[in-house]
Amino acid sequence: MRFDTVVIGGGLTGLVAGIRLQKAGKETAIVSSGQNALHFFSGSFESIGEPSRDITELFSESGIRLHYQEGVRLMPLGTFRPSALSLEDISLFPKEKFGNKLLLVNIVGYHDFFSSFLSQGLEEADMSCRIRFLNLSDMGINAPGEMRSVQLARTLDRNWEKVVQEVRLLLKDDDTVILPQVFGLEDGSIPGRIRQSLPAQVVFVGTLPPSVPGIRTLQLLKRRYEVLGGTYLMGDEVVQAHLHEGVVHSVVTKNLGQHYLEADNFILCTGSFFSKGLASTPEKVYEPIFGADVSFPPERSDWYNPSFAEKQPYLGFGVCTDAHLKVLKDHTPLSNLYAAGSILGATHPELGMGAGMCLRSALKAADSILEA
Ligand SMILES: Cc1cc2nc3c(=O)[nH]c(=O)nc-3n(C[C@H](O)[C@H](O)[C@H](O)COP(=O)(O)OP(=O)(O)OC[C@H]3O[C@@H](n4cnc5c(N)ncnc54)[C@H](O)[C@@H]3O)c2cc1C
């Protein structure tokens, strides 16, 4: 099977690169072996200032609403984190104290939303907070303790108006309602409709993974990519590559076997250790598909910080590339293999970090291909 470009890895980076190339008229395939960081996404894109027009257009054409405001967002354990570019459901505040009287609404029996930690954090930020519980048995939810966020969201999206009615009954003179982020799995307009229907500011706060807004974002980007004609090979894995004299000719996948995927260009978006884009032995850190050069310190004791809470050096390890994001192997760029996203680690500080770096590097790799 032959394509203009084969993208390896179908998380945020692979999808953004694939959409960019499809939109430019290229024929592409994305091979994606499984779970990616969007399943854990907070909804805020780290390290990106006001987004470029390219990024806002790509997201709005995919049906994803973003907003940009420099401020802080409320984290699941009641702490705050500086944030700017975010999905529309994420509330951003100019300062930590964002209300006076808060009603924190949890669900009877649900274990994945930490209302007592949250309320403690809110009290510490000088806001008074009442916790109340919704009983969802009327909506057919009888064992929420056995449900993850996405399962709850599937039912609550059909019943969000009933939830609003129940919350109204709990409201007194509160100026803010805090709800778990279990709304808007398929339809991203539901959090906004809940906000419009309640006479108080509504703040959605993350639950334990999977992330409802992250999975919605993944589904919408994938849908957009497929509408543009892209081929998304879900649940397949690239296991080998054929290279000759610095050129990648094809890759082999688990499911397609002898039907190699051939292309003019390839983009490596397989993520970091978390997604097995990088792997390690006690002696070395390596990139498993192409054997690309990886930047990491030689002494193993420098790989991690023994204090778990400190910044971990291994998060900065990444595949080495040239300025066009062409992957280096034995210190020489491969002519048609690019890398983007979290597999780059901190090798390109000018691109930032986190999801902001993923967006920038995905567009840069796609543009390098289009301009070549
Ligand atoms: C748990 C977690 C939470 C995060 N949350 C945030 C956040 O809230 N905000 C933020 O700014 N940043 C966050 N980040 C940083 C994160 O790296 C980026 O946000 C971004 O989503 C990473 O996208 P990616 O596509 O580069 O990699 P990934 O999302 O890791 O995707 C890589 C994909 O490649 C696939 N893959 C790997 N090997 C192969 C193979 N051989 N063949 C085919 N497919 C393969 C994997 O299965 C995976 O689907 C988070 C990172 C992690 C690990």
**276-322 pLDDT, tens digit each:** 999 999 999 999 999 999 999 999 999 999 888 888 999 999 999 99
The per-residue pLDDT for 142 is 82
Pocket test for ligand 1, best of 92, 289, 342, 363 (most atoms within 8 A of CB): 342
In tens, the pLDDT along 284-294 reads 999 999 999 99
Ligand 1 atom closest to the Cα of residue 253 is 42
Query: 315: Cβ–Cβ under 8 A, 6 or more apart, which residues?
Result: 272, 345, 346
Atom of ligand 1 nearest to the CA of 353: 11
Residue whose CB lies within 8 A of the most ligand 1 atoms, among 6, 15, 32, for a mutation test = 32
The string of pLDDT tens digits covering residues 113-122 is: 999 999 999 9
Enter the tokens of residue 65: 């609403």
User: pTM of this prediction?
Assistant: 0.96
Ligand 1 contacts (CB < 6 A) are 8-14, 31-34, 36-38, 40-42, 44-46, 237-238, 269-271, 274-277, 289, 341-342, 354-355, 358
Element (H, E) at 203: strand 201-205
For the chain, the average pLDDT equals 96
Q: Calculate how far, in angstroms, residue 195's C-alpha sits from the geometric centre of ligand 1.
A: 30
Task: Answer yes or no: are the C-beta atoms of 352 and 338 closer than 8 Å.
Answer: no
Query: How many Å apart are CA 164 and CA 115, to the nearest integer?
Result: 19
Buried b (16+ CB within 10 A) or exposed e, 68-86: eeebbbbbbebebeebbbb
Instruction: pLDDT tens for the chain, 372 residues: list them.
Output: 999 999 999 999 999 999 999 999 999 999 999 899 999 999 999 978 888 999 999 999 999 999 999 999 999 999 999 999 999 999 999 999 999 999 999 999 999 999 999 999 999 999 999 999 999 888 888 888 889 999 999 999 999 999 999 999 999 999 999 999 999 999 999 999 999 999 999 999 999 999 999 999 999 999 999 999 999 999 999 999 999 999 999 999 999 999 999 999 999 999 999 999 999 999 999 999 999 999 999 999 999 998 888 889 999 999 999 999 999 999 999 999 999 999 999 999 999 999 999 999 999 999 999 998
Dist. CA 269–CA 287, nearest whole Å: 11
- Ligand 1 closest atom vs CA 47: 11
Give CA–CA dist 263/253, Å, rounded: 14
Where would I find the beta strands (DSSP E) of 75-156? Answer: 80-87, 101-107, 128-134
Domains of the chain, start order: 2-41+215-371 (3.50.50.60), 65-208 (no CATH)
The tokens 């983007």 sit on which residue? 340
